[in-house]
Amino acid sequence: MRDAKGRFKSKELLLPLPSTTMVLNIMFLIFILLPWLYVGLKFNILEKINALLNSLFFDYSKCECNNFANGENKY
């Protein structure tokens, strides 16, 4: 609590704890998501997502195309 000048009245440390409904909701979400985490690790989902993103966002600056290497346009 603060007084009229904005200073704290008490010197004790207060730690706010989450409510029991919030703890139960978090435990429920963890219970629901844990099997999906196991399935994702079993089938290497992260590697597949990484391969997909690499194919979508290929870095063309590393491409060694010889179309314009000698300065002439073939088209």
pTM, entire model: 0.45
Is 36 inside a domain boundary? Answer: yes
40 CB neighbour count, 10 Å cutoff: 14
Strand segments, DSSP code E, in 1-75 are none
Is 45 inside a domain boundary? Answer: yes
Predicted confidence pLDDT, tens digits, the chain (75 residues): 678 888 877 777 778 899 999 999 999 999 999 999 899 889 999 899 988 888 888 766 566 665 555 666 655
Cβ 49 vs Cβ 40: under 8 Å: no
Is 50 inside a domain boundary? Answer: yes
What are the backbone dihedrals phi and psi of residue 2, each rounded to the nearest 5 degrees, phi first?
A: -120, 150
Half-sphere exposure of 3 (CA within 13 A, CB side): 6
47: containing domain? 20-62
Number of structural domains (the chain) is 1
Is 38 inside a domain boundary? Answer: yes
Read off the DSSP letter of residue 19.
P
Tokens of 16: 């706010």
Is 6 inside a domain boundary? Answer: no
